[in-house]
Amino acid sequence: MTGKTHLAFGILLGTGYALRTTTDLGQSVAIIATTAAFSLVPDICHAGSKIGRKLKLLSLLIGFFFGHRTMTHSLFFMGLTAVILTLLDIDFIYIISSLLGIASHIILDMLTPRGVALFFPLDYKVVLPIHFKTGGIVDLSLATTFTLLTVYLVYVEMFHRTINWLNGY
């Protein structure tokens, strides 16, 4: 999937998570931003990706040692990320946001013909039964759909909060 699709899905999941866990606007924005940022992190293994272009040397090293869609697209990487963030004493709500972002990326890449090495270090690729070409019409349609769903989620939440406010709850 393209970076736009990964980002749109990360924002959708982050928005849903934020709306269910906090009413604080600042914390909501931080949750959404964290989920969105981490939805791009697994592609650090690809020097041409959005994050790979920003962190070129790290991207080249990870790509050289592990290849594309292997270690950074795995359950192992999710666990490693959780451990590192815990050791850095990051708030649990942001650790969950980070893992949601990574999971969103992995799920979308399982929808491509190449799949992912979900069980790294095993070399077995996981591809979902339905898959689409990266950058194709379905990929771009998914990005648009995720964006529209995010707008809808926010609209519905604002509507419910307004109704509750008007009713004195």
Please name the amino acid found at residue 159: F
User: What are the structure tokens assigned to 154, written together?
Assistant: 């926010």
Distance CA 131, CA 160 (A): 36
- CB contact at 8 A, 95 and 49: no
User: What are the structure tokens assigned to 144, written together?
Assistant: 């648009």
What residues does each domain of the chain span? 3-166
Predicted local confidence at residue 24, as pLDDT: 92
Predicted local confidence at residue 42, as pLDDT: 95
Predicted local confidence at residue 34, as pLDDT: 98
Distance CA 107, CA 51 (A): 18
Predicted local confidence at residue 52, as pLDDT: 82
DSSP state of 88: T
Over residues 86-139, the pLDDT tens digits come to: 999 999 999 999 999 999 999 999 999 999 999 999 989 999 999 888 888 998
Mean local confidence (pLDDT), 135-152: 92
Q: What are phi and psi of 116, to 5 degrees?
A: -140, 155
Predicted local confidence at residue 58, as pLDDT: 87
Predicted local confidence at residue 112, as pLDDT: 92
Distance CA 153, CA 147 (A): 10
pLDDT grade, residue 49 (50/70/90)?
Answer: confident
Among 20-29, 78-87, 135-144, the range of highest mean pLDDT: 78-87
Over residues 53-100, the pLDDT tens digits come to: 888 888 898 888 988 889 999 999 999 999 999 999 999 999 999 999
Distance CA 150, CA 88 (A): 30
Kindly provide the residue ranges of all beta strands, DSSP E only, lying in the chain, ordered along the sequence: none
Q: Which residue has the tokens 């924002």?
A: 11
